[in-house]
Amino acid sequence: MTSPLVPAASALRPRNELAAWRNAIFVIFTLSGLSIATWAARLPEIKANLDVTTGSIGILILGMSAGSILGLMASAWLMARMGARSGMVLSLSFVAVGLVLIGIGAGIVFSPVLVFVGLALFGFGNGSVDVMMNVEGAAAETELGKTVLPLMHACFSLGTVIGAGIGAAASALQIGVAWHAIAMAVIIAVAAVIAVRFVPVREELGDETAPHASKPDWKARLKDNLSVWADLRLILIGVIMLGMAFAEGSANDWLALAAVEGHGLSEPTGAIVFGVFVSAMTVGRVAGGPLIDRFGRVRVLQVSAVSAMAGLLIFILGTDLWLIILGTALWGLGSALGFPLGMSAAAEGKNAAARVSAVAMIGYLAFLVGPPLIGLLGDAVGLLNALFVVLVLVVLSGLASPAAREREAKLRSRAD
């Protein structure tokens, strides 16, 4: 029996093309993480500049979430119409424009409305590119014949680490939010155009195969993509990703502010605490591949859920800085592998691209809807108490972990 991670011999590409494809997706993941951290690391200053309440920040984030949901919904249509290559460039262009508007709105004209519009565009771009880069990552993993999605998601976390470090430095050096955001937008847009040139053309995703070639009917591809929603196992995999994405998304948007307002830390220290979280995420994802191969998805998911639960409790209840940092690290480690494991599990079976796209949508709905909910709850009960909602969802994610069990034993790559 053939492993779902090993393609037929006729489908294999030259090794240098596979490496270039993998590396290009590494870059796309990194750029997405960089953009998220650019916003998250400066959130306390954005809040102070706009002179708004925590609940108002939650409403602004709702704009990002609404845009992201639209991006998730549009991703299948975009891939069907223009392919993943062009789609990823377009999506990251939306991200760059959104960052510019956020920076101008929060650092120059001090307009919550402009920040809301920027966040909506920012969210749309990240929502759509998240699906596309995971579809491409799962396809690259299949042709490589080895587990690389956790490492790709580690690149997202690496991007957030870099972004958090830049954000902390910019804050400490008193560089304005606007100039910081504009500089990051330029970097993201230029790097996206360069990286996507190394992503192979794939006719099944709607990429142009020749200047005058006719593409398969996009309506038929879209219908095929939507048919996978009838798979119960796929929905359960989405439930796993729901809790883990909620844990990651809530930290991305609220951790720095919770450290500052909930625990009384300074703004630069809050940015450093956020950096601890994304650093722990990166470590977990870099180490994840060998752990998954040795212990299996279910065991790794269960241990991850326990780590995230412990970390959340310590962060919420801890009073000393070392406890806050310990809790943040455990929270990050526990959140690291849920999403990439879900992607790998979804990639098994027929119509893998559509399956990956479907679970990505489920996971990102939590990733995007969760943070505004935390903000609104934070106004009523405080940010730290609002994080107990995340704890409950992580428990559900751990309970649903058997749905990700491997259907077939993985075979090693054709060449290490």
Alpha carbon separation from 93 to 55, 86, 146, 388, 410 (Å, rounded): 29, 11, 31, 36, 37
Helix 54-107 vs helix 232-257: crossing angle, to nearest 10: 70
Q: How confident is the model at residue 218 (pLDDT cuts 50, 70, 90)?
A: low
φ, ψ of residue 54 to 5 degrees: the values are -60, -40
pLDDT digits (tens, 9 = 90+) for 225-252: 666 666 777 888 888 888 888 888 888 7
pLDDT digits (tens, 9 = 90+) for 384-394: 999 998 899 89
Q: Mean of the per-residue pLDDT values for the chain?
A: 82
The answer on pLDDT for 414 being more than 80 is no
The answer on pLDDT for 413 being more than 80 is no
Check if the beta carbon of residue 402 is closer than 8 Å to that of residue 345: no
Q: Provide mean pLDDT across the span 44-58.
A: 86
Structure token pair of residue 288: 């994840």
Q: How confident is the model at residue 309 (pLDDT cuts 50, 70, 90)?
A: very high
Q: How confident is the model at residue 210 (pLDDT cuts 50, 70, 90)?
A: very low
Those residues with Cβ within 8 angstroms of residue 293's Cβ, 6 or more apart along the chain or in another chain: 147, 410
Which pLDDT score, from 0 to 100, does residue 211 have? Answer: 47
pLDDT digits (tens, 9 = 90+) for 322-369: 999 999 999 999 998 888 888 778 877 666 667 777 787 777 777 667
- 291 exposed, middle or buried (CB, 10 Å; 0-12, 13-18, 19+)? middle
Which pLDDT score, from 0 to 100, does residue 411 have? Answer: 40
**Would you say domain 14-198+230-404 falls under CATH 3.40.190.10?**
no
Which pLDDT score, from 0 to 100, does residue 149 have? Answer: 83
Q: Provide mean pLDDT across the span 306-335.
A: 93
Helices (H), 173-266: 177-195, 218-226, 232-257
